[in-house]
Amino acid sequence: MNRQGAGVLRLKSRPSVVAWHAHVGRKEKQGPLGSWFRYYSEDTTLGESSWELAESRLQQLAFEGATAACTLQPDTLLGGDLQNQCTAGAYAARRTALPYVGLYGACSTMAESLALASLLVDGGYSGCAAAVTSSHFCSAERQFRFPLEYGSQRPPQSQWTVTGAGCALVAPHREGRPYVEQVMFGRIIDLGITDINNMGAAMAPAAADTIMNFFKDTGSSPGDYDAVYTGDLGEIGSRLLLRLLERAGYNLTNHQDCGLMIYDRATQRVGSGGSGCGCSASVLCGHLLPRLCSGELGNILFVATGALMSTTLFQQGESIPGVAHLLNIRGC
């Protein structure tokens, strides 16, 4: 068995992330990681007639960029997004003629898709698998909150959905490329948060659960990693995560959150930080993988978190379940 404890999966063949590509919007280009995002669109419609199709186009651009950066042709596509029935991914995948595995993990989808892609390659079921994920501020706002035209006020604990997509290609181990050593799928944790504007609080317990289980099962500790990157907990969720881990005896001094890295909260008016599947996807594919490849990062945990509610269940008064999937990625 390649399985340990509560569910750490060890990838013996150490599949490599051989290519990656991120494509973001204007606001993300203007943020602190702007210089890392080489590919972006000033016009967030991307020339499409709807926000939903614009998001689909983001996925297509990320996929095409990643495949252009690689001599291998992917044979499997795994992806997802936040749209109802995951249409951004499905409509983008129409153009690829690849077997398509549709996923829904809310904002954890980049980790979920990359973990499954790595397992398919490690198990010998794929020679090159593509993991692709996106979100778009405008499609998410009108679906989860209000149409932009309402001009509704945003409470300070809310987060700003990233307009962006990331795609990573996984293939058998190759020197000079980052590789996936371990993955862990998270459990669904619901501590009863019912504020749809406070996703960070809903997801933090799931992130804490996955991270603690991983440390326990592997016998490792925070200091063994250069950094632990969570997906999009934002300011509030990040603080909660650190407190939950502290209570359990883990002092996570090397924590970073993609939702806090991608925007400048002081000047960009994004509330508690960035969010959306595209947040961790574009930070991973635009910033972390290049740094892992250059040797600047040697050993990281990438823990993307998702809040699994819908507006229907929220309006029925249900609380918001969270989930967090983890990858241990090694640099070159």
Asked if 238 interacts with a second copy (CB under 8 A), we say no
For a second copy, which residue of 83, 182, 230, 280 counts as binding (CB under 8 A)? Answer: 83
Output 127 or 222, the one with its CB closest to a second copy. 127
For a second copy, which residue of 105, 205, 237, 286 counts as binding (CB under 8 A)? Answer: 105
Cα 242 to chain centroid distance, Å, stands at 19
Structure tokens at 69: 């950066």
Asked if 141 interacts with a second copy (CB under 8 A), we say no
Compute the distance between CA of residue 230 and CA of residue 323 in angstroms, rounded to an integer.
Answer: 12
Report CA dihedral (309, 325, 86, 21) to the nearest 10 degrees. Answer: 140
Which segment (16-24, 111-119, 161-169, 273-281) binds a second copy by CB under 8 A?
Answer: 111-119
Output 181 or 264, the one with its CB closest to a second copy. 181
- Residues 143-172 within binding reach of a second copy (CB under 8 A): 143
179-184 and 322-330 strand pairing: antiparallel
For a second copy, which residue of 74, 205, 234, 321 counts as binding (CB under 8 A)? Answer: 321
Query: Would you say 63 and 203 are in contact if contact means Cβ atoms under 8 Å apart?
Result: no
Compute the distance between CA of residue 324 and CA of residue 185 in angstroms, rounded to an integer.
Answer: 7
**What 3-state class would DSSP assign to 8?**
strand
CB of 36 to a second copy, least distance (A): 29
H or E element at residue 271: none
Provide φ and ψ at 75, rounded to 5°. Answer: -115, -5
Output 199 or 261, the one with its CB closest to a second copy. 199
For a second copy, which residue of 20, 91, 229, 250 counts as binding (CB under 8 A)? Answer: 91
**What 3-state class would DSSP assign to 272?**
coil
User: Bridge partners of 180?
Assistant: 329
Asked if 194 interacts with a second copy (CB under 8 A), we say no
Asked if 86 interacts with a second copy (CB under 8 A), we say yes
Residues contacting 45, CB < 8 A, separation 6+: 51, 54
Asked if 39 interacts with a second copy (CB under 8 A), we say no
Output 68 or 97, the one with its CB closest to a second copy. 97
Give the Å distances, CA to CA, from 85 to 106, 108, 132, 235.
11, 16, 16, 29
Which segment (20-28, 60-68, 75-83, 281-289) binds a second copy by CB under 8 A?
Answer: 75-83
Output 126 or 282, the one with its CB closest to a second copy. 126
One-letter amino acid identity for 231? G
Asked if 303 interacts with a second copy (CB under 8 A), we say no
- Residues 52-71 within binding reach of a second copy (CB under 8 A): 52-53
Asked if 120 interacts with a second copy (CB under 8 A), we say yes
Length of the chain: 332
322-330 and 299-307 strand pairing: antiparallel
CB of 80 to a second copy, least distance (A): 6
Binding site for a second copy (CB under 8 A): 1-3, 6-7, 9, 49-50, 52-53, 75-76, 80, 82-87, 90-91, 93-94, 96-106, 112, 116, 119-120, 122-127, 143, 184-188, 190, 308-313, 316, 318, 321, 323
